[in-house]
Structures are given as C-alpha cells and as structure tokens.
Structure 1
Amino acid sequence: MKPATVLRRGLVAGLVLALAPACSSDTASSGALGPSTAEDDAAWPFEVEQVDRFGEPWAMAFLPGSGDLLVTERSGTLHLRDAASGERVEVEGTPTVVDAGQGGLGDVVPAPTYEDDGVVYLSWAEAGDGGVGAAVGRARLETGGGAPRLEDLEVVWRQTPRTDGDGHFSHRIAFSPDGRHLFVSSGDRQLGDPAQDTGNTLGTIVRLTLDGDPAPGNPMADEGGATAEIWSWGHRNPLGLDFAPDGRLWSSEMGPEGGDELNRVEPGANYGWPEVSDGSDYGGGEIPDHAEGDGYAAPAVSWNPSISPGSLMVYGGDLFEDWRGDAFLGALSGEALVRVDLDGETAGEVEVYDMGERVRAVEEGPDGAVWVLEDEGGGRLLRLTPAD
C-alpha cells in the first residue's frame, strides 16, 4: 500500500491519520460559498453552493427518476424536496420515533425496486419491551393526490436486544449492487461487550433479504436466530455504510477517544471492538491497538484524534472523474468533508476539507455533484461541483 498523504485544505487541527494493513423549515437563499478558512482556498477543487437549510437533519437520499430529495430530521420529520423548484413539503405517515440523544428518525434509502413500486426504507429509534432499539421499515411513498405520504409502513428488522440509553444506534442502510440484499449497521448501544457476542445484533452489520429475513449464505446462517443475520461483528458505532462501484462494502465507524475507522466489510470478519482499537477509552483507559496476527480485521484507515465520521458515501459518478471510487466521510467533531482515495481494497491519499460546521451526511447527486448536509446548528444543504 502506498504511504498516506494528507493534503491540507483548511485541515482539521491536530489530525493524526494512520493507515492500517489492508486485512427547519427555513429556506436559505441560494448562492456561492467559499471555504470556511482563507488558507489555501485557491486549491479547493470544487465550488460550494448553498441550496437549503434544515433544523436537525440526519440523512438524505435522491429518488431515482425524478431526482427529488428526501431528507430526514431526527425529530421524526421527513422532507421531500423538489429537484426543479427547490420547494419542499413534509411527508405524512412517518413512524413514531424516540427523539433523544442519538436516537430519532435516521436513514432513508429508496428500495432497489423504487421505480416500479415507490418503496423506500427508513430507520429509526423505537421504544418497546426492554427499552429502546433501532428499527428498519419500508413503505410506499405516494406523491400524487395531495400531500406526499408513506403508506403501508411495516417494520422489517429490529435491533436485538433493546436496551436502556440513547446512543450508538447506527442504523445505516445499504443495498447490495444486485438489489437482492439489505445491509444494516447496528451499533453497540454504548455497551461494548455485546459487540463480541454473536448471539445478538449489537455491534454488527447484518445482511438480510429485502423482507428482513436472515439472508441465505450468511456466515452463521445455520445457527438461526439473531446470529443468522450477522455479516460481520466487533463494531462500535458504524454510522456510514456504502458499496463502492467495484462492489466492495465499506463502513465508517466512530471509535472511542480516537480510533475512528474506515473499514472494508468482509463476511465473517471480527473488527475487534472493544478488545482492540487504535484509540483509547474515555477517561484514559488503554485499549490494545490493532496488530497483525491478533485475529481481528484492522481498519483501512484510522484517525486519532477523532474526526467523528457520521456518514459515508463512495463516489461513483463522472462529474469528478479523479474521485470515482473514492470514499467521502462527513466529519462531525472534525467539521470537515474527508476524502479517502480507495484503490480496490486498500486506501491511500486522504484530503480533509474544513467546512466550518459539523457534517452529518454526504450523498452523490444524479448528475454526479457531491451534496453535503450539515448537522443541526448549521443545517446547510450544500452542492459541490468542480471548480472552474
């Protein structure tokens, strides 16, 4: 693997990067924005246009065909933004969510069958016996005859077990390139040890059928129950999940105090949490670093101090030709857009663009533009296109 190179574009202060072995209803006016820092502004390879603003956004997804944009807000609101006019309306029929801490309405992704049946998948935090847990559901998005609405909403998967607390739900959604499988990231709910217990789905990435059943061929399919759902385990808080154009699955993961990770997700692999981490426990407790031969899958890239990756998009468009196949992470505490050059299963050069606000989500637009959604407090929806 080639050595890591960090190119400074308003670089997050104090960032240390390690390359591991590959094993609201407020509508903002439109207009061009410059980088949030003056240093090296001319070197930015993109122009930034602010197109909207939201209160407490969490995820976004473009709808096939129309290019309209769905945006979730953690409080439970789902917005539909018209691609042509920029006008947006609230979608009715959303699920009841537990809006506390990191919980609320989470991801939204059109089903592989969306153009035929209008089905979308959503994730959220819900209350039930035993406490709170993540859920994934699907519904038909109806946009004709009045206000847009979700119809026939049904839960297809629940994180097990439910627990107390309001952190580390993760609940990102991705579909396999062939459209046959549903992948969901499931955080450790800030409990740590369950991530090494394959009898539950905390601290895992699960692989399911589109109906939410354990997918045939999973690493432990013969064991039944929650175990049969698991694709990989030993994860802490995987808040990003996406497939690269070459079909490889990648995940971005928040570490403890440091040790954030970008992982190539492999079936049956154990990513080590909480037994190993390139970071330290809160309060100064030491955790062994990833090491060759320790039996755990090491990250392709890790960050210490933390950047707090809250999302992941692997670029597949043509507008930024040199970026095709590269990973883009939204950094929360790092207040940055981070690009990682991916070459097959390995990672190389890393660029960090200081956006001046916490970046919650990154998505590729229908025309190949890169869309950035800031976290609450900033809440801007930004469109990035190549600089002249």
Structure 2
Amino acid sequence: MAMRINCLALFLGLVLSFEVRAAEETGLESSQGRLIVNQMAEGFDIPWAFAFLPDGGVLVTEREGELYHLKDGRRTQIVGTPPVVARGQGGLMDVMVPRDFDQSREIFLTFSKKQGRGANTALARGVLNPSGDRLTEVKILFEAAEGGTGGRHFGSRVVEATDGTLLITVGDRGDRPSAQDLSSHQGKVLRINRDGTLPSDNPFASTPGAKPEIWSFGHRNPQGMAEDGRGRILVAEHGARGGDEINLIRKATNYGWPVISYGRHYSGAKIGEGTAKAGMAQPEWYWDPSIAPSGMIVYSGKMWRAWRGDLFVASLKFDMISRLSAAPVREVERLSNEVTGRIRDLQEASDGSIWFLSETEGALFRVSKGR
C-alpha cells in the first residue's frame, strides 16, 4: 500500500511541476521591440531537444535517456525508448517529428548507443501510441561505426529533408583526422531513407572503402541543423577555441575540419594549414570567440515579418540566442534576458512564436510579441 501511495505522490509531483506557467513572464528587448517570454514547463534534468506534435503537444528529451510528452499542462514519461550511454556529451539527444506523423505516428530519436566499451551516435524510429505514453515498434535505423570510449562530439541532429530522406549529424568523437576519412562515419553529415536503407544517389555509395551514408564531411561537432523551407540544409557546428561555423550543406562537399579552421586548439596552437584550402568549402559564417552553437531554426516570418528567413541559433556559452541574417549570413542580434541561460534547442511553433529549451533553468520557454 505504501508503495502505491509513494508512486501516486511521485506521479502527481511530476504532473504539477509541468503545468503551463503562462502567468510567469519576463521581457526581452529586441530589434522588434519588447518581446514576452513565458515559462511553459519546468523541472527538466539536462534537457537536450524538443519537438512539436501536430495536436499542440510537445516531446522533450533528457540526456539521461528520458523522453517526455507535454500536453494540456501535464507531463507523461514515454516508455519504450532505446537504452542510451549517458556519458559526457552523449545520451538521449535529438527528437524529430516527421511531416506525416498524423498518419504514421512515427518519431525519430538520436542517441549514444553502447558499442563494446564505448559508444557512438545512433538513430532509432518508434511509433508513439495514441495515448502518448509508449513507443512501440522501436527499430535502430542506423549506428555510426568505430565509436570511441570518450564522451565527446556525438553531434547529433536529425532533419527530414524535402525529399523524405533523413539527414543525421555525427561529430568527430574527438578523433580529428576521422572527419577527413571517408571510411569513417565520424565528422560527417549522413543521409539515409526513412526505413534505414541507403538512397541510391548518395555521392559515395559506389566509392570503394567509403561509408555509403556520407553526404558531406570535414565537420567537427555539428549540434544544430535546419531546413530553410526551400530544401537547403544548414548546419551549426562547434569549432575549437573560436571557429564555430554555419555551413550550407552540399552533396559530397568537404568542409575542411581539421585541415582548415578559423579557430585554434585550446592550447592556443594553430589548427591544420590555415583558414582556406582548394577543394574545401568556406563557412557561411563563423564566430570568434566561440558561442558553442546548438539547436537552430530558419524562421518563417509568421509572427515577425522582418525576421523572415533569418537564422536563430542557440548558444551554450553566452546565455543567448544568436540571430543571423540570411543573405549574406551574418550575426545581427543577440537575444537574452535573465532566463535564457545555456540554451540547448529552439523551435518555431505553428503560430510563429519561438520556443527555447534552457539547460540552465531546466525549463521550456515561449517567446512572442510584446503587448
């Protein structure tokens, strides 16, 4: 009986801690005037990513492996998620809801999967049941090979491209040369079909010794990725000491890490051969000093017309959101207030409001027009 009472108390505590808290608001000054920031949910432990469901619900991941469903002011823990290795930067990471969710009920998760004594980035698909509390038919669609034993540079984002394929980012796992090695998945943007099979037009599918999933290479630790509404894919990735980048992802393109970089090693030593080399793409933008970029979106302009097409990038370092113009890509504004903190992810809601997930606050916030 005591166990039943304790379980009920725990359940009620979880529900109460995740009530919508729209009355708790702060202001945020911007180029579009004063914005309103509402805390929508709280009590997360190292949150990593979130995604909207078509019915207005929200899915939120925590690094330790929990996946939550927020709906009508309540939180439900979803059972059936794959086991994760929560070590360093690894754990349960991205969550993506595809365009056909209403028909398929599928969701996609990236996570660090155990491999021997180490771990590497993997992608799983599961079907969310109608009550939103269980994943069924969970299947590992992809796992990167040659995982290390350390806890660095897993990536890891997944985006549904306009052609229905899935793009996945994998970091170099601290093994810098692997980003240039086509026989390794590390330091790459990868492309697979929704069922885990290989698209026939991948650029290295017929290259002897190359991993056929590779779409682009020469990346360090891409923790942000977004589709711009026109089919183009942009990635935000961590540099070392300086040299965080925004890259426009093109098929078969080499983005240079660790041969070229606008940063330096943490020791202060020079990286590679400089900032440019023939056959290696230049970033659309780079930050120096680093901002530690994470989640990113390309904004539709629905709530703020002046920001249409702009990039918004979460910062894990300066407690802010970086806004960048689209053409040319350049940082034009930093948005922050007392609750932004270390931001892991941000998404645009159906009404055009911008939501962000603060790791520092352990909370989910909504940014909307001021009154």
TM-score, structure 2 as length reference? 0.90
Instruction: Return 152-161 or 224-233, whichever deviates more.
Output: 224-233
Q: Does 1:72 align with 2:52?
A: no
Residue 296 of structure 2 is matched in structure 1 by 312
Q: Does 1:92 align with 2:74?
A: no
| Structure-to-structure mapping, 1:2-41, within 5 angstroms | 25=14, 26-27=17-18, 29-30=21-22, 31-35=24-28
Q: Tell me if structure 2 keeps the 8 A contact 1:369–1:384.
A: yes
Q: Does 1:165 align with 2:147?
A: no
Matches of 2:265 and 2:70 in 1, distance apart? 41
Which of residues 170, 185, 189 is equivalent to 1:201?
A: 185
| Structure-to-structure mapping, 1:56-135, within 5 angstroms | 56-64=46-54, 66-82=55-71, 85-129=72-116, 131-135=118-122
Q: Does 1:353 align with 2:335?
A: yes
Matches of 1:226 and 1:171 in 2, distance apart? 21
Matches of 1:311 and 1:139 in 2, distance apart? 22
Matches of 1:149 and 1:44 in 2, distance apart? 42
Matches of 2:106 and 2:67 in 1, distance apart? 15
1:216 Cα shift?
A: 1.5
User: Per the alignment, in what secondary structure is the counterpart of residue 371 of structure 1?
Assistant: strand
Residue 51 of structure 1 is matched in structure 2 by 40
Q: Does 1:238 align with 2:222?
A: yes
1:317 Cα shift?
A: 4.8
| Structure-to-structure mapping, 1:140-219, within 5 angstroms | 140-144=127-131, 148-178=133-163, 180-219=164-203
Q: Tell me if structure 2 keeps the 8 A contact 1:201–1:226.
A: no
Q: Which amino acid aligns with 2:364?
A: L
Residue 19 of structure 1 is matched in structure 2 by none
Q: Percent identity?
A: 35
Q: Tell me if structure 2 keeps the 8 A contact 1:160–1:226.
A: no
Matches of 2:31 and 2:250 in 1, distance apart? 39
Describe the shift of the 1:45–1:325 C-alpha distance in structure 2 as closer, same or farther (beyond 3 A).
Answer: farther
User: Per the alignment, in what secondary structure is the counterpart of residue 221 of structure 1?
Assistant: coil
Q: Which amino acid aligns with 2:214?
A: I
Q: Which amino acid aligns with 2:154?
A: F
Describe the shift of the 1:224–1:316 C-alpha distance in structure 2 as closer, same or farther (beyond 3 A).
Answer: farther
Q: Which amino acid aligns with 1:248?
A: R
1:44 Cα shift?
A: 4.3
Matches of 2:191 and 2:286 in 1, distance apart? 25
| Structure-to-structure mapping, 1:265-276, within 5 angstroms | 265-276=249-260
Matches of 2:362 and 2:79 in 1, distance apart? 22
> Once the two structures are superposed, what CA deviation does each residue of 1:246-268 show, in whole Å capped at 9, x if it has no partner?
22110000000111011111111
Matches of 1:192 and 1:94 in 2, distance apart? 31
1:322 Cα shift?
A: 1.7
Q: Which amino acid aligns with 2:91?
A: G
Residue 6 of structure 2 is matched in structure 1 by none
TM-score, structure 1 as length reference? 0.86
Q: Does 1:384 align with 2:371?
A: no
Matches of 1:163 and 1:213 in 2, distance apart? 25
Could you tell me which runs of 5 or more consecutive residues in structure 1 were left unpaired when the two chains were aligned: 1-23
1:349 Cα shift?
A: 4.8
Residue 8 of structure 2 is matched in structure 1 by none
Residue 3 of structure 2 is matched in structure 1 by none
Matches of 2:337 and 2:291 in 1, distance apart? 13
Q: Tell me if structure 1 keeps the 8 A contact 2:117–2:149.
A: yes
Matches of 2:216 and 2:242 in 1, distance apart? 22
The runs of at least 4 aligned residues of structure 1 exceeding 6 Å deviation read: 40-43
> Once the two structures are superposed, what CA deviation does each residue of 1:4-33 show, in whole Å capped at 9, x if it has no partner?
xxxxxxxxxxxxxxxxxxxx9533743211
Q: Which amino acid aligns with 1:215?
A: P
1:62 Cα shift?
A: 0.4
Q: Which amino acid aligns with 1:118?
A: R
Q: Tell me if structure 2 keeps the 8 A contact 1:208–1:215.
A: yes
> Once the two structures are superposed, what CA deviation does each residue of 1:131-152 show, in whole Å capped at 9, x if it has no partner?
21111010100033xx610001
Q: Tell me if structure 2 keeps the 8 A contact 1:241–1:313.
A: yes
Q: Tell me if structure 1 keeps the 8 A contact 2:27–2:34.
A: no
TM-align CA RMSD: 1.9
State the structure with bigger RCO (CA 8 A, min sep 6), 1 or 2: 1
Q: Which amino acid aligns with 2:121?
A: A
1:316 Cα shift?
A: 2.3
User: Per the alignment, in what secondary structure is the counterpart of residue 333 of structure 1?
Assistant: coil
